[in-house]
Structure 1
């Protein structure tokens, strides 16, 4: 990592042209026993994460990362799913010499939202689906926060993870392009970063097992997270573990764990 990445001391020639993009997939895993329950789960997800609710979540993301909202487009889909796209830009009142924190520290949790949005875009797309063969249902939310300038999408990580029932989170952070200082020298990064994990709150990190794959020389950072603890009741839709036989509980737990491992490692695991 270059020395200029450790502290911002250089004076820019005009606007900061670096593009910082945080992309991640959030998965919620569930077991719905019957076709009616599977249909009910999809309807529940569509209601809880409809376009209106997603718009409010993304609006709060904009506030967290100090950006202004320029335009919003949103859509609920038939039979299921929703999308929201926001055009954003850096806060107009921020001058070139003002300080914006780029420290590797957690951003606010859901009950501590402050600020505004501005400079590129935020998008979310939801994908509820169900496996008719084993009753496993999954809800995936794909979220992209892309900013130009000094504002950082990483500050919204904890808020987003807490706003979805996140069993698995797969995150990518990349800095693209370059910006110039007044001497004409190119700068390919404007803040220090060792890992996306450094932007997660301690209590969030304690809940997940995590794997990093980072390509520092390319300013590419990748982190995968999967919940450590497993309580079957947290994964059952409209039924309780006590309502099931021991055989059913063991089979459902095996199927749920296999589903989570397959998503986490991105490969199909043979049944034992």
Structure 2
């Protein structure tokens, strides 16, 4: 028997604005200039504007939005952006809105009510001119007004990218009123963004939380624990490298990942 969902009785429309920022990094070692250019070309093709539009369209379906407009652009020499405007919509669904602190679908149709919100993505292929490290970054923002939280799309986003490092922010702004006129500054319980990430995913990441509960601001950083050098090499394999070079490249990659994860330049070791 399905558990009955207790719904808030509001005065008019739910005016709370809920914003999810999902920031991911993919790190790679490119030994030569040719390898670096090939990696950037691969990323550009793998995450071009059409592919990103498909991902954001699926996010729209997960949170139950009607798409009003899509603007997309591939850039030269690399990078892409997509912006989707979404409006209030009702999609057929089994059951009511789900605001529980649990991972969202991958994906399933969810009923939601949204009004004049947006979803955006921008990509930033980048490389270090010294040392052979190349980085791909994607920033996705999902902003909704309504009952369902954009955190329900987080599980799908995590599985849509090859992610070494994730920085995730969630915030709730404004207020809505119940039928007695009482202000509600948040309409669902949340202790951490980690509540919306599956356990099988969390097992693979080192995670740090910074939460400001009185301001409805939530922040989680994740760094992949598993480290197999072959997953970070482009254009060659570990077997082709001298043991000393393997050690040096691994140190470079770990140093790069630590700087991104902790958000600061760190003392350089002998790389």
Q: TM-score range by the shorter chain?
A: over 0.9
Shift of 1:93: 6.0
Contact 2:91 2:111 in 1 (8 A): no
Aligned counterparts of 2:188 and 2:8: Cα–Cα separation in 1: 12
- Rate the CA distance shift 1:88–1:116 in 2: closer, same or farther, 3 A: farther
Shift of 1:108: 1.8
Q: 2:208 aligns with which of 211, 216, 229?
A: 211
Aligned counterparts of 1:107 and 1:231: Cα–Cα separation in 2: 29
Shift of 1:150: 0.7
Larger CA deviation: 150-159 vs 20-29: 150-159
1:180-259 aligned at under 5 Å gives the runs 180-259=177-256
Aligned counterparts of 1:93 and 1:257: Cα–Cα separation in 2: 45
- 5+ unaligned residues in a row in structure 1: which ranges? 1-6
Paired position in structure 2 for 1:4: none
Aligned counterparts of 2:66 and 2:111: Cα–Cα separation in 1: 5
> Size of the alignment, in residue pairs?
261
1:23-42 aligned at under 5 Å gives the runs 23-42=21-40
SS at match of 2:166: strand
Contact 1:158 1:204 in 2 (8 A): no
Paired position in structure 1 for 2:60: 62
Q: 1:141 aligns with which of 116, 135, 138?
A: 138
Paired position in structure 2 for 1:3: none
Contact 1:62 1:115 in 2 (8 A): no
**Structure 1 outlier segments of 4+, above 6 Å:** none
After superposition, the C-alpha distances for 1:25-57 in whole angstroms (9 at most, x for unaligned) are 100000000001101110000000000000000
- Rate the CA distance shift 1:125–1:116 in 2: closer, same or farther, 3 A: farther
Aligned counterparts of 1:100 and 1:147: Cα–Cα separation in 2: 14
Shift of 1:116: 7.5
SS at match of 1:161: helix
> Normalized against structure 1, the TM-score is what?
0.92
Paired position in structure 1 for 2:46: 48
> Normalized against structure 2, the TM-score is what?
0.92
Shift of 1:9: 5.0
- Rate the CA distance shift 1:241–1:66 in 2: closer, same or farther, 3 A: same
Paired position in structure 2 for 1:15: 13
Shift of 1:99: 3.2
Contact 1:10 1:181 in 2 (8 A): yes
SS at match of 2:252: helix
- 5+ unaligned residues in a row in structure 2: which ranges? none
